Structure 1
Amino acid sequence: MDDAVKDLPVRRSEDASAGRYIIDLPGGAKAELTWTARDTSQGSLRIATHTGVPEAFGGRGIAGRLVSALVEDARAQGFRIVPACSYVALWARRHPETQELFAG
């Protein structure tokens, strides 16, 4: 990952039903992962609905950092992730050590 973006923090913005993980990129651009919350009889879920990184910043591991932040929160807070976003689903397949954190 290039030095200009590797240390940029991941911000969290959320309310009771939805939220997002954001990285503020150089030049005012933003990368984000959005989710919605759902409580079920099997526990709390966060449905990852979209991951977006501006094309100029693609291929630098930024989307992976967003998913990693979601996974860290799932571990800490006890929810499971539904990978409705194709990138989150791909990330989950590439990281089998996290499978217990993913649902459906």
Structure 2
Amino acid sequence: MAVTSLLDLHVAAESVADAPTVIAEVLTATRAFEGNLGVEVLVDTDDSAHFMVVETWQSIGHDDAYRASRATPEGASALGGILAGPPTLTRFEPVAPTAG
């Protein structure tokens, strides 16, 4: 079953101008990772340092494999260097509608 992962990012004030480029570079690898069905980046209309990355994965297993790869020295990215704090990850699965 597909899963949607929301990665809530707060960028350090001194990195806001560079954030779109850094995020785009990081997401190139995300989009190429096995099981990724798409990625969209949103920026808060009231706070240009607040980003939401919306990822869609074939399964939680694919998402878990991606997160595990990013935790290795080989999979690490420049994203951590521009953040004001740790990102928050929330994952959602579709719910079948109930008969009404």
Which TM-score band applies after superposition, normalised by the shorter structure? 0.3 to 0.5
Structure with the higher helix share, 1 or 2? 1
TM-score, normalised by the number of residues in structure 1: 0.32
TM-score (norm 2): 0.32
